[in-house]
Amino acid sequence: MQKIRKAPVDESPKQREAEADLTPAQAIAAHLREGDYAGATRHYFSLDTREQRLSINSDVALALGEYLLGTRAYDEAQTIFRRFISERPNDREIDRAYLGAGKAMIHQPRHITSAYQYFLSAVETARSKDLEDEARMHLRGIEQMGEKKRE
């Protein structure tokens, strides 16, 4: 029996109209309630100003970056994490942003030094032992890569 796949459907005019009445934070939350991380991410990237991005809860912004890491969209994930670091330097969740930025950068061979610096910052700002341990694990991995190149 052959499965029939439905083609992706663009949002209906009614959906777009309903979304237009929502604040950016509400629209992203609506996408997330539906489990639509891709839609939430698209909406996040449509935000033009710092003020609009700051209206998004820190956990939500970081969850979008982590979602992008999971889909291997490293450049897009890096954009979210770097914006977070730049726009929210005193946020309680800055350690997650540094860790995420390092994880995105480590997949770009020319940016290993930058990844290392992000992981160091994650260790310095870590609020949990688990996050600190994960950042240290990545630091050791980078150090071991450097040792292998010298051999």
Whole-number average pLDDT of the chain: 87
**pLDDT tens track for 65-76:** 999 999 999 999
Q: For the chain, how long is the longest CA-to-CA vector?
A: 62
**How does residue 123 score in pLDDT terms, banded at 50, 70 and 90?**
very high
**pLDDT tens track for 100-119:** 999 999 998 789 999 999 99
Q: Can you give the pTM of this predicted structure?
A: 0.82
**How does residue 20 score in pLDDT terms, banded at 50, 70 and 90?**
low
Amino acid making up residue 64: L
Query: In the prediction, which pLDDT does 8 show?
Result: 41
